[in-house]
């Protein structure tokens, strides 16, 4: 997940609330009626849970993901791997017997890190592990050798602006939360360039580290010189901070061969179970297929993509066909800021009144605890009733504010949204690092996530009425 | 810590028990008398705790270690860094005002990993993170390209011996415990070579991983071809195992530039507080100064070495001088199997009856829970009484079987031994990896470890009688 857009849109949500379609007045059923309707899905919910968690489909999303992730590897926008991933999924979704399997073309950024290398030259030789940040420029071919200034915050950088000229800024900001801390990754280069620095090295935005740098997208600003920028490990950032605090002079050699190519064509990958009664109405479940270029993208967002696919597979396996169309979208270009999702929104927004709910899982598929939901009070009450059917696996919580770079476009305009909530305690240990591999995934946890995702999407797609907004 | 010797010696202990000096018969005091004597140290124990944990010496061992580890970096036997570390400590111990600061020369192995690189070529290009194992030979200059056979155990390798010829054996053994699992690292190359393999890649002996390979020593056997061998990450081992299980052909290119040089001269580093009444009798506290060549060796065994130094510093700061000599030994060549410690034993064993207790901390300096002790029942009762004085910091447990590659030589011959016990839950996340840095150390935890170490060593050094054996 990218997260930056998320923060942006969450700030917008209060202002935009007024823009949403309000159907509350015209909603036909009493809440008692709705409650009875939802209670009627009890057996189906149980059948979904049984199939996903204990039955024949047990571990399927995990196993499918393992084959996919092992075969394709990481899938950065613009890469051949992402092309291969889309081709693979197109074929797999067809083989799975889903309907309307198709690709919707999107222009996505194409950045490659190339060779990169950092070495501390003073006070001692020490190889610094780095991961260049997406969109970073390269160093000159001979690299950059410069003294380091270590700061713990943008405030400190601004206070010590005079010292930063011609230096490499090392940020050793503490990890508070991803949302709070990620601005150092996104804006570190810009802020360092403003005070005349020649490069920036940023402590990885990670809540725990075994010497593992984490990459991610960063943004230049027009009019500000573009300097090379990379993340370093928590350990190296702390070490340089200690050295600097002791007054030790630090000199670092940095070489990055990153290149930005013209935008390349990619695709959102779509498949459906077409609705039996209101086929034009859409319940959208999704995850993003692109990833960073390290690890296997098994967590971010292989898990979300594959439990979304699993939701359609489980419904098909049970011979169910909801009244509304259940649409799976595997987004492209999420890591560059929801590029695929924005285009999808632009293309399909004229149909917005037919979008019942948009769902995205992009914050891990660890042990689930419930659902985060964005929508009005009546819709929330309905979702709470649905979640009560997940009592057999004890995943009944409904939290505020759904997350997801790719669904925010719709939620901003009033479409109800949901995202999976799970145990995030280790998410930022692996996020955007070489550690994002199948080893972090647990088949039982993915089964539970798939059950939640399926029960919610199926019932919303099959109820008499769309969710009120 | 190396651990292999430890296992070896623990097996020997029962047979050797009879060789130890037995003084039980002649031990002069009643246990009641001893209990009273130890109770008399209550105020000193409190003073030590106050100084180490709450007072002026708070965080000193951590801060000293941070400066040392940041300045020197990793310290493999035979390296310039280890020479620098010994020089550094020699000077620091003198500056600290300790007595008889001196170096005892030892010939240690000198192995260097050189450049190393592994790449999966089939089924897809994937860079495999490796750490060559200590004593491994190099590949030919052009590297080795071979198909992989993945096994989960030596048993499986032996069953499938016919398939292994000419291949690279990948071990994906589960982590059971370090003691149980480390034999794959030590013997993996030998067992693979016996069945005609051209190299071995071994899943790191780690209880958790963020794509971090762990190194360590390995042993060739005479008459068995020496093949190159390295550890890979848990993640890559698991991935290759999944691929192999699916029948996917895996081809790996391996290049290692490791070299073994002639043994080089190193030193055990020694400092003392000379005893006031029985200066010839020795209480030995220790950790090892050498480390692996990755990370900073801050945990293995920077922490153990620096709380041992701290014990002498705290006693000096309090103006105490025990009746017996308190001797600090910072071993060299531990990671190659206690090379420095063995030579020390050979040189000093004629004085064995004067060694009261040998103590080593080499299993982390995380939150301490007590002391592991090797010795007879009466000695154990005495140690329990001493540990009761650590109730203010709640570190009073006495466990069986002290650990420590460097002190086993003495314990085998009946000298009582003690090692620190602490929270090991994360120890094997970092052990012998790039993750062994100051970031894993916590100053408060080190304060507590130092307090335990000091109270025990001081009281044993100052009691009227040596521990019974």
ipTM for this model: 0.94
Please state, in angstroms and rounded to a whole number, the distance separating the CA atoms of residues B80 and B90.
Answer: 15
Rg (CA), chain B: 23
Task: Determine the pLDDT at residue B3.
Answer: 52
State the DSSP code for B301.
I
State the DSSP code for A122.
E
Put simply, the answer to whether B433 touches A210 (Cβ < 8 Å) is yes
Task: Determine the pLDDT at residue B17.
Answer: 34
Task: Determine the pLDDT at residue B314.
Answer: 98
Put simply, the answer to whether B71 touches A123 (Cβ < 8 Å) is yes
Task: Determine the pLDDT at residue B28.
Answer: 67
Could you tell me the fold of the domain covering B114-257?
Glucose Oxidase; domain 1 (3.50.30)
Task: Determine the pLDDT at residue A199.
Answer: 98
β-pair partners for B199: B168
Q: Nearest CB to B234: which of A123, A430, A439? A: A439
Take residue A288 and report the two structure tokens written for it: 């993003």
In angstroms, how far is CA B316 from the centroid of its own chain?
27
Mean pLDDT of A27-39: 89
B71: chain A residues, CB-CB within 8 Å: 123-124
Note every long-range contact of A394-400, with CB atoms under 8 Å and residues 24 or more positions apart, other chains counting.
Answer: A395/A368, A395/A369, A395/A370, A395/A448, A395/A451, A395/A452, A396/A370, A397/A369, A397/A370, A397/A371, A397/A421, A398/A370, A398/A371, A398/A372, A398/A373, A399/A370, A399/A371, A399/A372, A399/A373, A400/A372, A400/A373, A400/A374
CA-based nearest residue to B399, from B425, B365, B419, B371: B371
Residues with Cβ within 8 Å of A85's Cβ and at least 6 positions away in sequence, in order, are: A68, A72, A75, A289, A290
Task: Determine the pLDDT at residue A5.
Answer: 44
Instruction: Let me know: does A458 contact A322? Beta carbons within 8 Å.
Output: yes
Task: Determine the pLDDT at residue B26.
Answer: 55
Q: What is the DSSP string of B198-210?
A: SEEEEE-S-SS-S
Which of A22-26, A61-65, A328-332 is predicted with the least confidence, judged by mean pLDDT?
A: A22-26
Could you tell me the fold of the domain covering B4-110+262-462?
Aminopeptidase (3.40.630)
Q: Residue A27's pLDDT band (boundaries 50, 70, 90)?
A: low
CA-based nearest residue to A338, from A272, A273, A424, A409: A409
Q: Residue A21's pLDDT band (boundaries 50, 70, 90)?
A: very low
Best B439, B440, B442 residue to mutate vs chain A (most A CBs within 10 Å) = B439
Put simply, the answer to whether A429 touches B73 (Cβ < 8 Å) is no
Please state, in angstroms and rounded to a whole number, the distance separating the CA atoms of residues A427 and A286.
Answer: 19
Calculate how close chain A gets to B230, using CA atoms only, in Å: 19
A242: chain B residues, CB-CB within 8 Å: 66, 70, 438
Please state, in angstroms and rounded to a whole number, the distance separating the CA atoms of residues B318 and B51.
Answer: 8
Please state, in angstroms and rounded to a whole number, the distance separating the CA atoms of residues A222 and A215.
Answer: 22
The C-alpha angle with vertex B183 and arms to B419 and B414, in degrees rounded to 5, equals: 35
State the DSSP code for B393.
G
Mean pLDDT of A325-344: 98
Instruction: Let me know: does B204 contact B231? Beta carbons within 8 Å.
Output: yes
Residue with tokens 């009560």: A388
Share of chain A above pLDDT 70, in %: 94
> In angstroms, what CA-CA distances link B430 with A38, B173, B300?
50, 18, 9
Q: Which of B116, B191, B310, B334 is catalytic?
A: B334
Please state, in angstroms and rounded to a whole number, the distance separating the CA atoms of residues B363 and B431.
Answer: 10
In angstroms, how far is CA B340 from the centroid of its own chain?
13
Residues with Cβ within 8 Å of A174's Cβ and at least 6 positions away in sequence, in order, are: A152, A181
Task: Determine the pLDDT at residue A29.
Answer: 77
Residues in chain B whose Cβ is within 8 Å of chain A: 66-67, 70-73, 123-124, 126, 129, 209-212, 234-235, 238-239, 242-243, 246, 248, 295-296, 429-430, 433-435, 437-439
A235: chain B residues, CB-CB within 8 Å: 295, 434-435, 437-439
Share of chain A above pLDDT 90, in %: 94
State the DSSP code for A335.
T
Task: Determine the pLDDT at residue B116.
Answer: 98
Residues in chain B: 469
Take residue B45 and report the two structure tokens written for it: 């124990």
Please state, in angstroms and rounded to a whole number, the distance separating the CA atoms of residues A203 and A214.
Answer: 9
Region of residue A52 (phi > 0: left; psi between -120 and 50: alpha; otherwise: beta): alpha
Residues in chain A whose Cβ is within 8 Å of chain B: 66-67, 70-73, 123-124, 126, 129, 209-212, 234-235, 238-239, 242-243, 246, 295-296, 429-430, 433-435, 437-439
Instruction: Let me know: does B379 contact B355? Beta carbons within 8 Å.
Output: no
Q: What is the β-pairing status of strands A144-151 and A251-256?
A: antiparallel
Task: Determine the pLDDT at residue B19.
Answer: 32
Calculate how close chain A gets to B73, using CA atoms only, in Å: 8
Catalytic residue list contains B334? yes
Best A65, A115, A210, A433 residue to mutate vs chain B (most B CBs within 10 Å) = A210
Instruction: Let me know: does B341 contact B404? Beta carbons within 8 Å.
Output: no
Mean pLDDT of A380-384: 98
Instruction: Let me know: does A463 contact A277? Beta carbons within 8 Å.
Output: no
pLDDT tens string A390-413: 999 999 999 999 999 999 999 999
Please state, in angstroms and rounded to a whole number, the distance separating the CA atoms of residues B35 and A99.
Answer: 82
Residues of chain B with pLDDT under 70: 1-28
Calculate how close chain B gets to A131, using CA atoms only, in Å: 14
Put simply, the answer to whether A439 touches B129 (Cβ < 8 Å) is no
pLDDT above 60 for A329: yes
Mean pLDDT of A24-38: 81
Q: In 10 A of CB A33, how many CB atoms?
A: 12
Instruction: Let me know: does B410 contact B358? Beta carbons within 8 Å.
Output: yes
Q: Residue B52, SS3? A: helix
Please state, in angstroms and rounded to a whole number, the distance separating the CA atoms of residues B330 and B334.
Answer: 10
Instruction: Let me know: does A259 contact A44? Beta carbons within 8 Å.
Output: no
Task: Spell out the domain ranges in chain B.
Answer: 4-110+262-462, 114-257
Name the residue in chain A with its Cα closest to that of B249: A71
Name the residue in chain B with its Cα closest to that of A122: B71
pLDDT above 50 for A287: yes
Instruction: Let me know: does B169 contact B156? Beta carbons within 8 Å.
Output: no
Task: Determine the pLDDT at residue A18.
Answer: 31
Calculate how close chain A gets to B217, using CA atoms only, in Å: 21
pLDDT tens string A290-320: 999 999 999 999 999 999 999 999 999 999 9
B439: chain A residues, CB-CB within 8 Å: 209, 234-235, 238
Q: Residue A26's pLDDT band (boundaries 50, 70, 90)?
A: low
Residues with Cβ within 8 Å of A423's Cβ and at least 6 positions away in sequence, in order, are: A364, A366, A367, A368, A369
State the DSSP code for A294.
S
Please state, in angstroms and rounded to a whole number, the distance separating the CA atoms of residues A204 and A237.
Answer: 9
Please state, in angstroms and rounded to a whole number, the distance separating the CA atoms of residues A313 and A450.
Answer: 10
pLDDT tens string A252-270: 999 999 999 999 999 999 9
Q: Nearest CB to B437: which of A66, A70, A211? A: A211
Please state, in angstroms and rounded to a whole number, the distance separating the CA atoms of residues B52 and B44.
Answer: 12
Task: Determine the pLDDT at residue A12.
Answer: 40
């Amino acid at each position: 997940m990218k997260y930056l857009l998320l923060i942006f849109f969450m700030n917008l949500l209060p202002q935009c609330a007024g823009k949403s379609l309000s159907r509350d007045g015209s909603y036909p059923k009493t809440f008692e009626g709705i409650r009875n309707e939802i209670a009627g899905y009890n057996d189906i919910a149980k059948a979904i849970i049984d199939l996903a968690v204990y039955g024949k489909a047990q571990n399927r999303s995990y196993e499918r993901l393992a084959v996919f992730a092992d075969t394709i590897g990481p899938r950065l926008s613009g890469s051949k791997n992402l092309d291969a991933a889309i081709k693979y999924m197109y074929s797999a979704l067809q083989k799975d017997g889903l309907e309307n399997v198709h690709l919707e073309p999107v222009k996505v950024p194409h950045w490659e890190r190339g060779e990169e290398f950092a070495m501390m030259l003073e006070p001692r030789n020490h190889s610094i592990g780095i991961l260049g940040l997406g969109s970073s420029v390269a160093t000159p071919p001979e690299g950059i050798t410069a003294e380091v200034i270590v700061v713990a915050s943008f405030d400190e950088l601004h206070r010590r602006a005079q010292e930063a000229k011609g230096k490499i800024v090392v940020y050793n900001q503490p990890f508070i939360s991803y949302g709070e801390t990620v601005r150092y990754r996104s804006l570190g280069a810009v802020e360092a360039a403003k005070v005349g620095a020649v490069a920036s090295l940023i402590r990885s935005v990670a809540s725990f580290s075994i010497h593992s740098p984490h990459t991610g997208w960063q943004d230049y600003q027009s009019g500000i010189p573009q300097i090379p920028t990379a993340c370093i490990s928590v350990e190296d950032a702390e070490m340089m901070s200690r050295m600097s605090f002791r007054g030790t002079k630090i000199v670092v050699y940095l070489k990055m061969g990153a290149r930005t190519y013209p935008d390349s064509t990619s695709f959102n990958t779509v498949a459906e179970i077409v609705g039996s009664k209101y086929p034009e109405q859409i319940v959208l479940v999704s995850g993003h297929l692109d990833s960073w270029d390290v690890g296997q993208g098994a967590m971010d967002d292989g898990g979300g993509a594959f439990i979304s696919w699993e939701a359609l597979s489980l419904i098909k396996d049970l011979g169910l066909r909801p009244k509304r169309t259940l649409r799976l979208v595997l987004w492209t270009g999420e890591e560059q800021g929801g590029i695929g999702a924005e285009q999808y929104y632009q293309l399909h927004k004229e149909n917005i009144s037919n979008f019942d709910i948009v769902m995205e899982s992009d914050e891990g598929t660890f042990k689930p605890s419930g659902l985060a939901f964005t929508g009005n009070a009546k819709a929330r009450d309905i979702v709470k009733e649905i979640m009560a059917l997940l009592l057999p696996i004890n995943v009944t919580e409904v939290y505020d504010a759904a997350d997801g770079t790719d669904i925010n476009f719709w939620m901003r305009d009033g479409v109800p949204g949901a995202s999976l909530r799970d145990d995030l305690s280790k998410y930022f240990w692996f996020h955007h690092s070489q550690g994002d591999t199948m080893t972090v995934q647990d088949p039982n946890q993915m089964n539970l996530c798939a059950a939640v995702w399926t029960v919610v999407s199926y019932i919303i797609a099959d109820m008499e009425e769309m969710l009120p907004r």
